[in-house]
Amino acid sequence: MKTEHDCGLLCRMGAPCLRIINAVGDMALFMLTGLVQIFASGKIFVRTLQQLYVIGYKSLFVIVLIGLFCGMVLGLQGYYTLVQFGSVGLLGSAVSLTLIRELGPVLTAIMLTGRAGSSMAAEIGVMRITDQIDALDVMDINSMGYLVSPRIMASLISFPLLTAIFDVVGIIGGYLTGVLMLGINEGAYFYRIASSVTMTDVNGGFIKALVFALLVTTVCCYQGYTTHTRRDSVGPEAVGNATTSAVVISCVLILAADYVLTSFLL
């Protein structure tokens, strides 16, 4: 194949498109390999536990914190909108449905991209440029099964769990502002939540969380794993760029996938 510099205008336009399509296909294969290796690699349990500690437990505090503030601001905003219609009793539905359907899965995924996804990309990227991944392969340890599969597994477990924690803490946050601060009836708040949330909403939120888990882990690990093939930079700079694009691509994909999923689930 000719390089970009020695061909015409059309060729220069086509080349980046092909590169993007190639990268998408590559990423899909990367994800499949990662998923298959879950069942093929030994010691997956121990490595998953390690990643669960990093992705799940260490993110717990920040998820609780932003869940609380998110619920509190929803309570505040919802109250001042609903009070105009004299229907502040509906605050419970507004807060819980917003959290369970949309904000819970999306904000958890974006937060985890920042906390765990970036470190995945950087860690694997440094291993790549210091030839540690090649060392693994030389020692006949499957690098995908050793590095990527445990992370996918741990994400698939911790994303839905953290989303659930986010939802519940957010509802408590809405309770703090709505009931304790602004004085809505406590019974009305919780009754509205229980009567308006259905199993479809809860399931939809968990489906989103699972899809986001796959997307974020695949994109972040892929960016780190392919640091050495980056065209814009080499060495340590490539690790930095890989981390940046991992976070940016993940966030864009989360929001785009959220739209697509919502239109299917509704």
Partner 1 sequence: MNSFRQTAVGVFVLLGLICVGYLAIKLGQMQVFNSNGFELSANFTSVSGLRVGADVEMAGVPVGRVVDISLDPDPLRENAVVRILLDRDLQLSDDSIASIMTSGLIGDKYVSLSRGGSDVILKSGDTITETEPSVDLGTLIGKYAFGGV
> Least CB distance from residue 172 to partner 1, whole Å?
11
> Least CB distance from residue 175 to partner 1, whole Å?
13
Which whole-number Å values give the CA distances from 94 to 74, 142, 199, in the listed order?
8, 48, 16
Q: For residues 29 and 72, give the distance between their C-alpha atoms in angstroms, rounded to a whole number.
A: 42
User: Which residue ranges make up the site for partner 1 (CB under 8 A)?
Assistant: 46, 49-50, 52-53, 56-57, 60, 96, 100, 157-158, 160-162, 164-165, 167-168, 193-195, 197-199, 201-203, 205-206
* Choice between 162 and 213, CB closer to partner 1: 162
> Least CB distance from residue 262 to partner 1, whole Å?
18
- Specify whether the CB–CB gap between 6 and 15 falls below 8 A: no
Report how far apart the first and last C-alpha atoms of the chain are (Å, whole number): 46
> Least CB distance from residue 58 to partner 1, whole Å?
8
* Choice between 38 and 202, CB closer to partner 1: 202
* Choice between 148 and 162, CB closer to partner 1: 162
* Choice between 154 and 221, CB closer to partner 1: 154
> Least CB distance from residue 192 to partner 1, whole Å?
10
* Choice between 19 and 58, CB closer to partner 1: 58
> Least CB distance from residue 59 to partner 1, whole Å?
9
* Choice between 53 and 69, CB closer to partner 1: 53
